[in-house]
Copies of this chain bind each other. A is one copy, B any other.
């Protein structure tokens, strides 16, 4: 080994987990399937949400919480589709936590909402550390980011329930190996399903919609609302 490895860890304390658990109960009682969507900047979160809202508008009423450090470009794009949306500004913070989420939903009318998405701040580090009270965590990784990301951002892969690899239409121009990625994913989260999608060509989106339908069905079967 030709270099030192130094731990420069800081301690973060919070009762975030307790608050997240309470929030999850609230969503279950309301029958709202709440998804925490996480990814790097520019991985395609907003584009995926737009496609999903359009494709499933006759099946589900979808609402979105857009979390950003600044700006409201994403909320604007979602609102143009007629979906309920709120923009949250983190004031420089790189993640949403349960308290912020709670304040977000208290400012929304959630009557008749089937699925609520939180589009978390673009980042593979801090969003992974904070339970926001979601039922499922979905991670997007875009092909241009590279197949080595499970090694570098292990926690994000460990806590996610579904990995979607986006922009697969660009596979020919990048040095990206599905095998290398999946080997890395297996080490962090052996049972996590991996879907490959392109919002541009539409490839793989049906598998995502099917995953969503199945999960909502299972959620409703366990917590109240009829399927």
Which A residues have a C-beta under 8 Å from some C-beta of B?
A: 2-10, 12, 40-42, 68-75, 79, 84-94, 96, 99-100, 103-104, 107-108, 121-126, 129, 142-146, 148-149, 151-155, 167, 169-170, 173-174
Contact = CB atoms under 8 A, between A and B. Distances in A.
A173 B104 CA distance: 37
A68 B91 CA distance: 24
A89 B7 contact: yes
A125 B92 contact: yes
A107 B173 contact: no
A56 to B, nearest CB: 20
Contacts of A42: 40, 142, 144-146, 149
B9 A70 contact: no
Nearest to A7: B89
Given A42-B145, A69-B125, A145-B41, A103 B2 contact: no
Contacts of A40: 40-42, 122, 145
Nearest to A39: B41
17 contacts: A3-B75, A4-B86, A5-B89, A7-B89, A8-B90, A8-B91, A8-B93, A8-B99, A9-B92, A40-B40, A41-B124, A41-B152, A42-B149, A70-B155, A71-B151, A94-B123, A170-B174
Contacts of A169: 173
Given A9-B93, A152-B41, A152-B71, A4 B87 contact: yes
Contacts of A153: 41, 69-70, 122
B70 A152 contact: yes
B86 A3 contact: yes
B7 A87 contact: no
